[in-house]
Chain A
Amino acid sequence: MSRSMRPLLATAIIFVIAYALAVMQFPTMFSTRVLGNFLTDNAFLGITAVGMTFVIISGGIDLSVGAVIGFTGVLIAVLISWAGWHPLPAFALALAVAATFGGVMGLAIHYLQVPAFIVTLAGMFLARGGASVITQDSVPIHHDFYDWISELIIRLPGGGRLSFIGLLMVAVFILGALLAHRTRFGSYVYALGGNTVSASLMGVPVARTTVGVYMLSSVLAALAGIVFSLYTSAGYPLAAVGVELDAISAVVIGGTLLTGGYGFVLGTFIGVMLLGLVQTYIIFDGTLSSWWTKIVIGALLFLFIVLQRLIFAASAQGEKAS
Chain B
Amino acid sequence: MMRRILTPLANPQLIALVGVLLVNWLLFPNFFRITWQDGRLFGSLIDVLNRGAPVAILAIGMVGVIATKGVDLSVGAVMAMAGAVAATMVVAGYPAPVAVAAALAVGLACGLWNGFLVAVLDIQPIVATLVLMVAGRGIAQLITEGFIVTFTDPVLIYIGTGSFLGVPMAAVIAIALMLLVTLLVRKTAIGLFIEAVGVNRAAASLAGIRSRMLLILVYGLSGLCAAVAGIIIAGDIRGADANNAGLWLELDAILAVVIGGTSLLGGRFSVPLAVVGALIIQAMNTGILVSGFPPEFNLIVKAALIFFVLVIQSPLASRIVPVRATAREAHK
Do residues A291 and B296 form an inter-chain contact, with CB atoms below 8 A? no
From B137, B201, B304, B310, A118 is in contact (CB under 8 Å) with: B310
| Contact A112 to B311, CB < 8 A, known contacts A121-B254, A309-B123, A321-B201 | yes
* Chain A residues positioned under 8 Å from B179 (CB to CB): none
Q: Which of B14-22, B53-61, B138-146, B159-167 contacts A (4 or more CB under 8 A)?
A: B138-146
| Contact A126 to B122, CB < 8 A, known contacts A114-B313, A301-B134 | no
* Chain B residues positioned under 8 Å from A18 (CB to CB): none
Do residues B299 and A126 form an inter-chain contact, with CB atoms below 8 A? yes
Do residues B310 and A298 form an inter-chain contact, with CB atoms below 8 A? no
| Contact A111 to B316, CB < 8 A, known contacts A129-B303, A133-B296, A322-B122 | yes
Minimum distance in angstroms from A139 CB to a CB of chain B: 15
* Chain B residues positioned under 8 Å from A252 (CB to CB): 127
B258 within 8 A of A: yes
Residue of A nearest to B141 (CB): A291
> How far does the alpha carbon of A291 sit from the alpha carbon of B316 in the complex, in Å?
45
Q: B131, B205, B211, B258 — which one has the most chain A CB atoms within 10 A of its CB?
A: B131
Count of chain A to chain B residue pairs whose CB atoms are closer than 8 Å in the complex: 137
B95 within 8 A of A: no
Residue of B nearest to A64 (CB): B303
Do residues A125 and B138 form an inter-chain contact, with CB atoms below 8 A? no
Do residues A122 and B294 form an inter-chain contact, with CB atoms below 8 A? no
Do residues B303 and A123 form an inter-chain contact, with CB atoms below 8 A? yes
* Chain B residues positioned under 8 Å from A122 (CB to CB): 302-303, 306-307, 310
The B contact surface, by secondary structure, is helix
B157 within 8 A of A: no
From B137, B202, B299, B314, A129 is in contact (CB under 8 Å) with: B299
Interfacial residues of chain B within 295-332, with CB under 8 A of chain A in the complex? 296-304, 306-307, 310-311, 313-316
Residue of A nearest to B215 (CB): A322
Interfacial residues of chain B within 97-136, with CB under 8 A of chain A in the complex? 117, 119, 121-124, 126-128, 130-136
Residue of A nearest to B296 (CB): A132
| Contact A258 to B316, CB < 8 A, known contacts A136-B294, A291-B142, A320-B122 | no
Q: List, sorted by A's number, 15 A–B pairs whose CB atoms are closer than 8 Å.
A: A112-B311, A113-B314, A113-B316, A114-B264, A117-B126, A118-B254, A126-B299, A129-B302, A132-B299, A245-B130, A291-B242, A295-B142, A298-B131, A301-B131, A322-B212
Q: Apart from A122-B310, A129-B300, what 18 extra A-B contacts exist at CB < 8 Å?
A: A111-B314, A114-B264, A118-B254, A122-B303, A125-B302, A126-B303, A128-B299, A129-B296, A136-B294, A258-B126, A295-B142, A299-B135, A301-B131, A305-B128, A320-B122, A321-B205, A322-B202, A322-B205
